[in-house]
Structure formats: structure tokens, C-alpha cells
Amino acid sequence: MAKTKIAYFCQSCGFESAKWLGKCPSCQQWNTFVEEVIEKDPKSVPTWKVSSTTQQRANKPVEVADITFTEEDRLLTPDKEFNRVLGGGIVAGSLVLIGGEPGIGKSTLMLQLALNMPNIKVLYVSGEESEKQIKMRAERLTPQPPEGGAFVQSGVISPPLGGRGGGACYILTETSTQNIFKQIEELEPDLVVVDSIQTLHSSHIESTPGSVSQVRECTAELLRFAKESATPVFLIGHITKDGAIAGPKILEHMVDTVLQFEGDRHHVYRILRTVKNRFGSASELGIYEMLGEGLREVSNPSEILLSQRDEPLSGITISATLEGMRPMLIETQALVSTSAYGTPQRNANGFDAKRMSMLLAVLEKRCGFKLGAQDVFLNITGGIKVEDPAIDLGLAAAIISSYQNIPIPFKTCFAGEIGLSGEIRAVNRVEQRIAEAQKLGFEQIYISKYNMPSAAQDKKRIDLSRYTIDIKMVANIEEVFELLFG
């Protein structure tokens, strides 16, 4: 018999050690090492249908010029937001990991995707819920099957007769990877969804499900299956209390795409954000609205992020931001009040608190506003988090508007980054921001004059005449406040 191997794994980063350590040398965390029993038979491999040429072919070095490349065929889903986040659709043989808070809607999103895939045979593997629980959710997502909808019967979810779709969704409640691959070999699905990766276990590893070695081994088996069979696989993953995906960090390196499902459970809007994508942009964003019958994609997020007000209010501005290739107008709010305690409060919701401190220092140093004894609160409406530096100008205007108690005009928006010397720096793709503001009926937009250095000399390169919106080009923050507040 093979000798049992015992190793110690860090539960935070997955670092492996032959003995127990008090402090992890990789992530510097204390008391995170757990003993795990490892016993792997090298002769046994996961059983799935694969050609013998795939296993026996030896790779040889090939010159770059001799490699033939064809554009990969992507599988388009009925969900346009999901297609955008994936970079244009599902790539064959890709391994996608989706993480998010408990109860945020990960299982709902993936089951809704599995139900609505046309002409596709989908296998939904669940290690957390029974068939009856999944059936209840499926009936809630499609209470009365419309044309092309789906219904559940005897473990198989398939579209009704006469519908637009021609595929079917099969439910499998199993946690053993060997049994899962056996069912995959018999069913031969076109798409596999695993909910969740922390519940699977492989017989090749003797540790408990959810441990570092089990998560790594099960992911490796699914990765090999996806690449050798060209079948896309979606993994749902748990997250830790810090918001990171649970398990070793190598899990995110192994998969092709990492998606983060975010949002406040007390609000109806959910955000699907790309963290890593080998087949497209890693800065795309999809917005959904959580309803009783499932998730509804939001095609124009600017309309939901802007509140409808009847009267002008101080401390509220509109900023033009970009998430991936999509321009959005968001409402930025600020509240400045005299501090009732010795130390003024600084609180930012949806914005980096350190960058807020930098903006306050610039306003005090360059513009003379005495904000050192003031409580300052910033809020990005809609519950989203923004990292685009182009909202600096809008936030600074909102802070001074609240400080002076002077409202900003309704149809005014901002797009500019503020430097430490008070200058308004240029931002990327400013024309898309201007076009979005004009489409939503705004009358003027403040941008950096350095954004279009050739606008005055070469009208053909950047044609400002095609915009009906009034474009205010400013060089520094003092010029902005003079135009806004006199």
C-alpha cells in the first residue's frame, strides 16, 4: 500500500508545508495551518471521454509565425449583460469562476442562464441543494412558461413544445467528482455548471470537502475536462468575510475568468464585475435588477443611478464614469457639516477613503476652504463602487456645494481627475462620456482642457461641433469654482 502523506496547508493562501508553522511565510497570517491527509493514486485518473491522441500527443516547440490562429467561436447567451462581462460570449473549453456574498443571487443567476440557453444541453451540478429545492427556484424563475421558457419535470428542465429553445437543463445532485464525470460521459452536455466548488470532493484526496487540497484537486480535474473536451464549465465559489474567494489563491490563477457578483441584499440592484478574463477585458460591468421572478438585465444603468429630483439640492453632482467599454452617469453626493466632536469624521461609501482625504487636502491647500474641522461624508448612489479617477471633479464640486450650501445646476455633469497641485487632468475616452451626457439631456459638461489639446487647431481630429452640449474646458480647480459659484 502507498504510504499516507500528511501535509499542512494555509487556509488563507494555500501555502503547503511539511510541518506545522505558526506564521505563514507567504501571506504572513498567524495560526492558519491545518493538517490534511493526502493519498493520491497516480494510476487513477478521472474518467471522461477523451480521444487517445489527446493523451499521447507530445508537445513540441513551434515558431510564432507558424501558429495558425482563427477567431474563437463564442456561445452567445440570451443575457446581453452576461455576454458583455464575458467579453462577447462563452468560449469553448473555458473555466469560469463566479464568487459573491451568500444570498446575493449566484445560484439564481446560473440557473436562470441554464434554463434560457437555446439549443444547448446544460448539466447543473448542485452539491448544496436537493432536486426539489432547485425545482422550486426554477418554477419561481418561470412561473408560467412563456414562449421559449422552461419547466421542470423529473429532474430535467426543458423548454415546452413549440418554444424557441431546443436544449434542456439536467439537474444532478452529487458531490463526488468521479460520479459527476461518469454522468457527464453518459449525458455529453454542452455546458456544465457546478454549485459550488467547495462542496465537491475527489476520492484521490482524503481530506474533507472545502479544504485547500480538495478545492485545488477538484478544480484541476474540471480544468482538464474543460480543456480536453472543449466544454465550458462554470464554477460557483464561496467568499471569505474579507470579500475574497474562499480557498487557495491558486484557484483564481487556474481558471480562465473570475467574475464577482456584488450588491447590497437590501437593494434590488446587483453588479456582475469581471476580475480576471483571458478572453476579453477585465474591467467590464453588468447590472441586474433582482425581482421576484429572477434577475432582469439593466440595459441603461445611467437612468437607475440618477435620482429624479423636483428641486435643486446642495451637495449633489453628476459624474461621467466608465466601466469597461460602457459610459455611465452616476450621482455623487457629499455632506459637509461642523464637527460636534474633537476629531472630524471622514466617511466614504463606494469611494476610496484615502482618495477622499487627498481631495480634501487639495481643496484646503489650493482653494483655501477650511475643511479641517468639518465632518465630510461621501456617497455613490446605487450601491456601486467606483474606482475611476474621472469622478474627482464631481466629488470636489459636491463637497464645496454642500460646504457653501449652494446647489449645482440640474443639467451639469463633470469628468476630470484632480492632481495634487489642483490641476484638472485629462481622462481617457472623453468623447464617450460627452456623448452619454448629451444622450441623457445634460446641457453642459466640465472636462479638462488638456483632454483635447488639438481641439482649437485641428477640428477634423476632434469635432466638437457635432455635440449640442456645452463643453466647459477648465485647467484648474479654481477655474471650476469660479464658473460654478462666482
Binding-site residues for ATP: 100-107
244, with CB counted inside 10 A (0-12, 13-18, 19+), is middle
Q: Is 204 within 8 Å of 155 (Cβ atoms)? A: no
Q: How many other C-beta atoms can be found within 10 angstroms of the C-beta atom of residue 184? A: 22
E strand residue ranges, 339-484: 346-349, 374-380, 412-415, 417-418, 424-425, 444-448, 470-474
DSSP 240: -
Return the sign of the alpha-carbon dihedral for residues 415, 416, 422, 423. Answer: negative
Residues tagged in the binding site annotation: 100-107
C-alpha–C-alpha distance, residues 437 and 426, integer Å: 17
C-alpha–C-alpha distance, residues 22 and 263, integer Å: 36
C-alpha–C-alpha distance, residues 436 and 459, integer Å: 21
Order of strands, sheet of 5-10, starting from the edge strand that comes earlier in the sequence: 16-17, 5-10, 33-38
Q: Is 427 within 8 Å of 454 (Cβ atoms)? A: no
Beta bridge partners of 377: 335, 347
Write the single-letter amino acid at 214.
Answer: Q
C-alpha–C-alpha distance, residues 128 and 133, integer Å: 10
Q: What Rg, from alpha-carbon coordinates, does the chain have?
A: 27
C-alpha–C-alpha distance, residues 209 and 232, integer Å: 23
List, as one string, the DSSP characters of 13-27.
Answer: T--EESS--SB-TTT
Q: Are strands 470-474 and 444-448 parallel, antiparallel or unpaired?
A: parallel
Q: Which three cell numbers stand for residue 32?
A: 492558519
Phi-psi region of 396 (alpha: psi -120 to 50; beta: other; left: phi over 0): alpha
Phi-psi region of 479 (alpha: psi -120 to 50; beta: other; left: phi over 0): alpha
Q: Is 447 within 8 Å of 464 (Cβ atoms)? A: no
Q: Is 345 within 8 Å of 374 (Cβ atoms)? A: no
